[in-house]
Chains A and B, each alone.
Chain A
Amino acid sequence: MNFVASHLLTTILLFPIFSAVILLFLPKNETKLLRWTALVASLIPFGLSIWLWVSFQSGTPGFQFQEQYTWYAAIGSSFHLGVDGLSLTMVLLTTLLTPLAILASFSITDRVKPYMMLFLFLETGMLGVFLALDLLIFFLFWEIGLVPMYFLINQWGGENRNYASLKFLLYTMAGSLGLLLSIQLLGVLFQSYDLPLLYERWSSVQGSLLGLPVATVKTVAFWAFAIAFAIKVPIWPFHTWLPDAHTEAPTAGSMLLAGVLLKLGAYGFLRLVIPLYPVEAHRYAGILAFLAVMSIIFGAFASYGQDDFKRLVAYSSINHMGFVMLGVAVAARAAGTLDAHIAVDGAVLQMFNHGISAAAMFFLVGVIYERAHTRDLNAFGGLFPIVPVYGGILIFVSMASLGLPTLNGFVSEFLVVRGSWPIFPFLTALGMLGLLFTGAYILKGIKKILHGPMNEDWVGHLTDISTREILVVTPLMILFLVIGLWPAWILDVINKAVMVLF
């Protein structure tokens, strides 16, 4: 136990991958054993991250639980981990959603072993990005997380999975090329990839680099970073991979894709882009804010226009992540002000909230798809009497997604808008228009499925949500309420970190 306590982050990070290796040696036909092993294996990092949360000193500024080991000494990279309030929230989100996604996958019968292993690999990949305090380690996990997701979509996905998975992977990798080059440049300049060190030195570089003025190089590198992360978030107009990937991914894959993977991009902005490029971020914050508002508006419009339930939810992610980006843009423009703190508090909380509500929404889409084998909204209608429990849950989750006061989404969106109002008044007002349509598409989804004239075809063919499925969604619903009514427990941790960072 002492070892775990002193190596808490490494244990959380590597436990899933060790479990995956154990899974490798289990017989492949024992599906029950495989499922339960995977579930238990993913619950342990969750337990450890609760321990982490409890023992985290939110009052102490800076990174905690730091661990540092030699990794690639020849180029100055070390295996450096650490958490602050920002990454801690994301770690909790990741370790919470992974067991739920695995529980949601109990209905998978095709090649259970590799499927579960890929999920555990994915968890390590995602956690690594949040925990890394070394730029090269960050990049390592950033890229490696793509591989399990690629295979999950490519092997267990829908009809158009080949196209969607390749698009997902190549889009993200191509977006990361600029990031890779910029990271190399930083490494060459400082012979180190340690983030705390880079924060200090990179911003104070003067003179000229590679025969160009430093400002020019920094501007290019800023955009290289920004584009890599913008694709992952994704913000308009870099979002086109997302609806395809979501539509084709298996349910649990979508839960993690929307729940955690999109946060990697926003986290990249907060952890790397703004601290490393404060001047450039300030200068181009307007562009970021504009793109964020476009994401909010177009995401909502596009979502409203969908007839496929899953695509509707997928576009809603673009809409919701737009608010995160708006908060990021405020922090970039007005770092150090109260408005920026409020906006970033909202953005980080929105990352957490969207994580849990999008995971719940995608799960509910999966529940109905598994029974009906269609996601066409026009094929449903009036299902409330047939599946009353499912209907109730769907309405509750949708309300959280819509941002109804007393539920979680309201708190974070309100904070973002409150923070951005004095900084970008016009764009914020424009974003409100998007918020209106958020209500419209959510209600459209509910109406098309649950209300209206009953589609007689489904009578006797649809069963209500099962106990296992309720078990998946219940923890999330409880969190919606808890955060909606008493956000202080999480906002406190976030705010303390934000006060230090921005």
Chain B
Amino acid sequence: MAFPILSVIVFTPIIAGMIILMMPGERKTEIRMVALAAAAFDLILSVWLYFAYDITAAGYQFQEMHSWLPSFGIGYHLGVDGISTPLILLTGVVMFTGVIVSQSISDRPREFFAFLFILATGVFGVFASLDLFLLFFFYEIAVFPMYLLISIWGWVKTREYAAMKLTLYLFIGSVIALIGALAMYWASGAHSFDLLVLEKAHFSTAFQNTWFMPVFMGFAILGAIFPFHNWSPDGHVAAPTAVSMFHAGVLMKLGAFAALRVGIMLMPQGAIYWKWVILGLAAVNIVYGAFIAMVQTDLKYVIGFSSVSHMGLVMIGFATLTRSGLIGSTVQMFSHGIMTALFFASVGMIYNQTHTREISRLGGFVKIMPFTAIAFIIGALVSMGMPGFSGFVAEFPIFMGLWQTAPIIAILSVISIIVTAAYMLLVIRRVFFGEMPEEFAGRMNDVSVMDKVALGLISILMVGIGLFPSLMVPMVSSGVDHILALLG
């Protein structure tokens, strides 16, 4: 029997979490070391998985199948394709960097890391699931710890409100999607939740047209699709740094990924039927999100709304249902994931010392933390889709896809690039350059070496993919071919 690498990746975090819970709460250093070791282990495995994936063979690989609840047709079925492998790598990177920047958490680190790792298991699980029931199972595991993490360790002012809002939105979304999933289960007649079986179920067009929207939108809420986006910036702002990184970096991709895997891949006819609605909503995401980000005064809200805008690009790429659009969206999921993780990490590093995120009260931090400033600038260039960085590699094919389906939307959405450039440059100038306010002068320190490792790792990935798209695109492309085959 082959080494069950996916199971190991999925369950390493939760096992580490249990070990951490059993350690005495006052041994904070040891707890952090265990957390870091587990995250590093998972990162190494996900890198290995990424390079071990056979692009020429394509399809679902590293499959593991065990019966679980055979009477209901539920199996423990894991496997990855060209779409989910990069996302598992993304989760590995965000988890590792998230743990690094959380080293400064001093309030109950034991429980914090335990919950964070339960969340990580849920996320890995969704990306690796090839069984619809299992996917929902992991999906709920990923959403639930979020509530605790925000309401206990979050920003005092809004954490209860934000945690409640986020949880309600996501649960409602997943319940709607679950109903759709059950409808598929009954309609297929195959008595199975297995995604590979359901892919071949050939649901009737009428069925797909009815049920596509509930399933897609139910998941897309987690991808912050307009008009269900406003839980997301509130959640980002209230969450502690590592949770914001997870939330924007990975959780939002979870929604988009599930919407693709369950919505578009199982009901391709429904996707074709409804694509104009999604194109329209996502275009609003892109443009409206960018404009709202521009007027924010809180640094974290700027990043939060920029995520709304960028996730719109992911959704719009899906909705083009074209080869280049889908490739772009998947790369965008990865690119936006690491970029926004970097943003939240940097904001956290500033906030830890200043205890404010009001842009007008910040300034001149380049002198204190030059490394953070450079990483943030690289992130901003990714964000504005500058060529040579991963954002361009992602956005350009999305727009090519749009040209093939809806040229007018391409022309409208492109405005967001210039708006993004404007607010990103203004934020950089106000936060990192200019005069440092009196109140911070003399009592600021540079970030730690480990923090620099985290920022450096992400920056290298963003530049690397930007300069050498072939590091990622062929793999994604092999996954997209399968989706196109389903679309017919």
Contact = CB atoms under 8 A, between A and B. Distances in A.
Interface of A: 70-75, 136, 139-141, 143-144, 147, 150, 154-155, 162, 166, 169-170, 173-174, 177, 180-181, 184-185, 187-188, 210
Interface in B368-406: 381, 386-388, 392-393, 396-397, 399-400, 403-404
Given A166-B422, A181-B399, 6 more contacts: A75-B324, A136-B396, A140-B388, A154-B429, A185-B403, A188-B400
A450 to B, nearest CB: 38
A109 B320 CA distance: 52
Contacts of B280: none
13 contacts: A140-B388, A140-B392, A143-B387, A144-B386, A144-B388, A154-B429, A166-B422, A169-B421, A177-B415, A177-B417, A180-B414, A185-B403, A188-B404
Given A74-B324, A74-B473, A184 B425 contact: no
Nearest to A139: B387
Contact of A70 (B399, B426, B470): B470
Contact of B425 (A150, A177, A185, A187): A150
Nearest to A166: B425
Given A72-B473, A154-B429, A184 B396 contact: yes
A72 B381 contact: no
B414 A181 contact: yes
Contact of B477 (A74, A141, A185): A74
Contacts of B417: 173, 177, 180
Contacts of B388: 140, 144
A326 B181 CA distance: 66
Given A140-B388, A144-B388, A188 B425 contact: no
Nearest to A140: B387
A143 B417 CA distance: 12
B418 A184 contact: no
Main secondary structure of the interface of B (DSSP, over half): helix
A173 B421 contact: yes
A184 B469 contact: no
A169 B417 CA distance: 12
Nearest to A185: B403
Contacts of B99: none
Main secondary structure of the interface of A (DSSP, over half): helix
Given A74-B469, A173-B417, A184 B403 contact: yes
A322 B327 CA distance: 43
A61 to B, nearest CB: 30
Contacts of A166: 422, 425-426, 429
Given A173-B418, A181-B411, A210-B407, A75 B433 contact: no
Interface string B458-475: 000000000001100110
B381 A147 contact: yes
Contact of B418 (A72, A144, A170): A170
B418 A75 contact: no
B324 A177 contact: no
Given A147-B386, A181-B411, A155 B400 contact: no
B105 interface: no
B363 to A, nearest CB: 12
Contacts of A187: 400
Contacts of A177: 414-415, 417-418
A81 B206 CA distance: 53
Contacts of B426: 166
A154 B410 contact: no
A173 B417 CA distance: 9
A74 B327 contact: yes
B248 to A, nearest CB: 24
A169 B425 contact: yes
B324 A144 contact: no
B473 A184 contact: no
A166 B426 CA distance: 9
B110 to A, nearest CB: 40
